[in-house]
Amino acid sequence: DSGVTQTPKHLITATGQRVTLRCSPRSGDLSVYWYQQSLDQGLQFLIQYYNGEERAKGNILERFSAQQFPDLHSELNLSSLELGGSALYFCASSPQGTFYGYTFGSGTRLTVV
Amino acid sequence: QQQVKQSPQSLIVQKGGISIINCAYENTAFDYFPWYQQFPGKGPALLIAIRPDVSEKKEGRFTISFNKSAKQFSLHIMDSQPGDSATYFCAASMSGGYQKVTFGIGTKLQVIP
């Protein structure tokens, strides 16, 4: 157990629907990062939050959004899902201060049917 | 824009052999270079990392070689074992600022008996 908790582990949804993925960072970590993993794109950075504030944005679609709550858990909202939008979504966290890399959760596998 | 280029994308090595994965980066502001190991169904886990003030770092059977002038670094797995079969990602980040990690495309390593 890495200490980063992601729920649900698997999600199957229909095209056009909206889903919410949840991430609880490791205890004491203030930064949360969301990544999308697909077979041909590797790990693509989506967005970063630090202590509730958005800090960096990557290749995140406009119909995707995220937030980090006061208890530091984060949610990634994916809407108007399309066929071909199936992917693995990972959350990672890191502490403030000197950077020693991320700790990843075990991911949410999203299947769009 | 692929800031970290990784090769090969797949690699088959016999048990006991040496596995070598190469990466190159473009952004000279990167100052932290981690490698992550990912098993099927799991999130990536930090394996070993190096900062550019050293040319080599060894942890057990895993060694990172770093060439700052060429902007290249590589992972060597000595005495490769079937249990090493996984996907390996090289990555790069800046330790200051937002600490976003940029990943390579990944290398799927298979160690055959």
Q: Using one digit for the tens of pLDDT, what is the confidence trace for B12-55?
A: 999 999 999 999 999 998 989 999 999 988 999 999 999 989 99
**Tokens 């200051």 label which residue?**
B96
Instruction: Name which residue leads in pLDDT, B56 or A56.
Output: B56
Residues of A in contact with B36 (CB under 8 A): 104
Q: What is the pLDDT of residues A6-29, one digit of tens each?
A: 999 999 999 999 999 999 999 989
What integer is the mean pLDDT of A72-79?
A: 96
Interchain CB distance below 8 Å, B103 and A43: yes
Residues of B in contact with A106 (CB under 8 A): 41-43
Please, how many CA atoms are within 13 Å of residue B4, restricted to the half-sphere of its CB? 27
Chain B, nearest residue to A46 by Cα: B100
In angstroms, the CA B22 to CA B38 distance is: 17
Task: For residue B8, give the DSSP letter.
Answer: -
**B23: Cα separation from own chain's centroid:** 7
Interchain CB distance below 8 Å, A31 and B101: no
Interchain CB distance below 8 Å, A45 and B102: yes
In angstroms, the CA B84 to CA B109 distance is: 8
Interchain CB distance below 8 Å, A99 and B32: yes
Of B43, B89, B98, the CB nearest to A107: B43
pLDDT of residue A98: 63
Average pLDDT, chain A: 91
What integer is the mean pLDDT of A43-62?
A: 91
> What are the tokens at B4?
């970290």
